[in-house]
């Protein structure tokens, strides 16, 4: 299946209902003529479909590598946070992942047992715990990063105006932040 088949599969039921499209196959050029309410429904379907595909594809990629079959996607995101947070303390990582310190401790303990993470307690303040990736953890982080780089490249490859996509994603980000603050 080519990438373009996924969006068309989602658009077709709505586009078939549109008067200007009845009696012929829908094309990508028809998207701009879809009523606004239908466009919102299509966007919602696309967001859900893309989210589910990303999770499924990430899982498949890791399952294909026999060295990483023991790592869940949740644990992979913990590894990513360990690598990207500066300093990589338990508190900062838990906040970035929006999980409790207890939940993070549970994941970190499993990752230490599996050989992906090292834990370091500060000599100055024993309450401060930092984490680092082992060589094995760094390998899975690089595989995860490569997937995301490819994902972003595919998303922007055919865009004439990347600023519109950037603005739309920033709006979504602000929306999620407001919702998070509310709850």
pLDDT digits (tens, 9 = 90+) for 33-91: 556 667 778 788 888 888 888 888 888 887 888 878 899 989 999 999 999 999 999 99
Among 64, 88, 103, the domain boundary falls at 64
Question: What is the average pLDDT across 119-133?
Answer: 93
54 & 81 share domain: no
Which residues constitute the domain of residue 102? Answer: 70-183
Any idea what the CATH number is for the domain that residue 138 is in? 1.10.10.10
4 & 80 share domain: no
119 & 144 share domain: yes
Number of domains in the chain: 2
Q: Which of 91-100, 107-116, 154-163 has the lowest mean pLDDT?
A: 154-163
Question: What is the average pLDDT across 99-116?
Answer: 96
Residues 179, 173: Cα–Cα separation, whole Å: 10
Question: What is the average pLDDT across 116-135?
Answer: 94
Residue 151: per-residue pLDDT: 87
118 & 151 share domain: yes
Among 64, 79, 96, the domain boundary falls at 64
Residue 13: per-residue pLDDT: 54
Among 16, 45, 64, the domain boundary falls at 64
pLDDT digits (tens, 9 = 90+) for 135-165: 999 999 999 999 899 988 988 888 888 888 8
pLDDT tier at 32, thresholds 50, 70, 90: low
41 & 108 share domain: no
Kindly tell me the burial class for residue 101, based on how many C-beta atoms sit within 10 Å of its own C-beta (0-12, 13-18, 19 or more): middle
Residue 95: per-residue pLDDT: 94
94 & 54 share domain: no
98 & 34 share domain: no
79 & 59 share domain: no
160 & 81 share domain: yes
- Give the rounded distance of the alpha carbon of 54 from its chain centre: 7
3 & 27 share domain: yes
Q: What is the pTM of this model?
A: 0.72
6 & 50 share domain: yes
Share of the chain above pLDDT 70, in %: 80
10 & 56 share domain: yes
């Amino acid at each position: 299946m080519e990438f373009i088949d996924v969006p068309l599969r989602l658009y077709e039921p709505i586009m078939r209902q549109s008067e200007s499209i009845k009696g012929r196959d829908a094309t990508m050029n028809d998207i701009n003529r879809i009523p606004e309410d239908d466009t919102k429904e299509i966007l919602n379907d696309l967001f859900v479909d893309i989210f589910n595909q990303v999770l499924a594809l990430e899982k498949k990629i890791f399952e294909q590598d026999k060295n990483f079959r023991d790592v869940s996607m949740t644990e992979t995101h913990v590894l990513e946070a360990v690598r990207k947070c500066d300093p990589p303390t338990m508190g900062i990582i838990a906040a970035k992942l929006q999980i409790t310190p207890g939940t993070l401790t549970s994941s970190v303990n499993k990752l230490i047992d599996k050989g992906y993470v090292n834990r370091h307690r500060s000599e100055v303040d024993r309450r401060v715990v930092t984490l680092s990736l082992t060589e094995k953890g760094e390998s899975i982080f690089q595989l995860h990063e490569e997937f995301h780089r490819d994902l972003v490249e595919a998303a922007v490859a055919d865009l004439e105006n990347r600023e519109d996509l950037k603005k739309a994603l920033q709006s979504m980000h602000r929306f999620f932040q407001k919702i998070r603050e509310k709850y």
